[in-house]
Amino acid sequence: MRLPRFLTPSTVVSAHCDLPCGVYDPAQARIEAQSVKAMQEKYLASDDDVFKTRALIIIDERATLVKHHLAVLWHDYFTAEHFAKYPDLHALVNDTIKLAGGKGAKQEIDPAQGQKLLDGIDAIAAIFWETKGKSYEKPAA
């Protein structure tokens, strides 16, 4: 069965990605990683078991979001040309994603791990902004 003519698109469009340009930004991952580090610090400073349980849940949720935002950049934004120009980019993104999970921020409640996660995101952000012809200014702590 054919669609009635008024339901048939009159204009066909195409795009090189699934979202409009400019949507991608490592800042999303960085904001979540800042939350991870802050909650690691609060966890270590607290004697309240209920608070510590809530902190672990928040760390897990935020670290999962870090992994998601970095994976989107890795799979949807960066291209073969980027990986050719920045040969360490694959390992950098992979290692930073691992810092967010596994034996990283989710399992080691250590703000030093949270800082390593932020450092990895900053390195990715520097490359990301360079691909856009801009320089990256690391946010103030």
Are the beta carbons of 105 and 113 closer than 8 angstroms? yes
Token pair recorded at residue 127: 């490359």
What does the pLDDT look like over 88-106, one tens digit per residue? 999 999 999 999 987 777 7
Predicted confidence band of residue 23 (pLDDT cuts 50, 70, 90): confident
Where are the chain's structural domains? Answer: 24-131
Side-chain half-sphere CA neighbours of 126 within 13 A:
11
Top-tier CATH class for 24-131: mainly alpha
| pLDDT over 70 at 120, yes or no | yes
Whole-prediction pTM: 0.82
Q: What's the confidence (pLDDT) of residue 14?
A: 47
